[in-house]
Amino acid sequence: MNNSDQTQTESTNPTIDTMLAHRSIRKYTPDPIPQEHINAAMIAGQAAATSSAVQPYCILHITDNDKRQQIADLAGPQQKVRDCGSFFVICADLRKHMLITERAGNDYKTGLEAFLVGAVDASLFAQNFTLALESLGYGTCYIGGIRNDLPKLNDILNLPQGVLPLYGLCAGTPDESPSHRPRLAPQAMLFENQYPSDEQNLAHIDQYDELYKQYLTDRGANPATWSESIAKKYSYAAREGLADFYESKGAKLC
């Protein structure tokens, strides 16, 4: 199983193949995912690790078309939120812990640790859930755009204290077959014992820049290097109300 004389073909299998097949899907047929497949993906998702079994997350399945359209509008607009087969909102869930701690007669204590564990464990769950759906033949697309206006999302979903929406997830039967967006080389992401020097880091980035620009050119998108996209993105503050919103819902960040 783990001898050093593996041949290359032994480094892959159906699980790894499912991961490698991932592309975000932005066009779907309207068919909802059958409940049985959602249930199978839930159980597989929940099998992911969770810190001290705290399970600090929940997932809302939005089947109400009016709510779907309102979320599609605030998230971009991104019409796929309305039009994909099934749409979900993944949340950090501190509420269960609040209810339990208060039922025991204690004050609920929280801080960045609880928020971070919420975001991390929700995402370990979400990636299993997403990959399980992909293994069943569906396409997926995470929707960070719900963070454009969390107070409005909160009103649409009528969320109680302690439920913190992180991102959405479109899923369903793909109605397109896009190419794979290239990634930074593994050598730019995995380091032995020591983070690299700026020179080494930027050399990896320079190599990736041309690959990324070619990918955009091939798709007919505005060609830009990765560096050009990143430099533009991080020259402006993004979604500045985020901390205030999460704190208003019971998180403590600082």
Query: Within 5-64, which residues bind a second copy (CB under 8 A)?
Result: 6, 8, 11-16, 18-20, 22, 24, 31, 33-34, 36-55, 57-64
Task: Name the residue nearer to a second copy (CB basis): 98 or 223.
Answer: 98
Question: Rounded to the nearest whole angstrom, what is the least distance from the CB of residue 66 to a second copy in the complex?
Answer: 10
Q: What are phi and psi of 201, to 5 degrees?
A: -60, -50
CB within 8 Å of 75: residues ≥ 6 apart:
81, 143, 145, 146, 148, 168
Give backbone dihedrals phi and psi of 3, rounded to 5 degrees, phi first. Answer: -80, 160
At 170, is the secondary structure helix, strand, or coil?
Answer: strand
Site for a second copy in 61-80 (CB under 8 A): 61-64, 67
Q: Give, as ranges, the residues between 115 and 154 that touch a second copy (CB under 8 A).
A: 116-117, 119-120, 123-124, 126-128, 130-132, 134-138, 140-142, 144, 147
What gap in Å lies between CA 170 and CA 167, rounded to an integer? 10
* Cβ–Cβ under 8 Å, residues 202 and 184: no
Residue with tokens 């929280």: 110
Q: How far is the CB of 179 from a second copy (least distance, A)?
A: 13
Taking the complex as a whole, the smallest distance from the CB of residue 85 to a second copy amounts, in Å, to 8
* Touching a second copy, residues 95-114 (CB under 8 A): 95-101, 103-104, 106-114
- Is residue 87 within the footprint of a second copy (CB under 8 A)? no
CA distance 173 to 133: 10
Token code pair at residue 223: 């060609």
**What is the total count of residues that contact a second copy (CB under 8 A)?**
137
Least Cβ distance, residue 250 to a second copy (angstroms):
12
Question: Is 220 a binder of a second copy (CB under 8 A)?
Answer: no
Task: Pick out residues in 192-211 that bind a second copy (CB under 8 A).
Answer: 192-195, 198, 201-202, 205
Cβ(65)–Cβ(152) below 8 Å: no
Peptide bond into 77 cis (omega under 30): yes
Q: Fill in the per-residue mask, 156 to 195: x = in contact with a second copy (CB under 8 A), - = not in contact.
A: -xxxx--x--xx----xx------xx-xx-x--xxxxxxx
Q: Which is nearer to a second copy, 109 or 151 (CB)?
A: 109
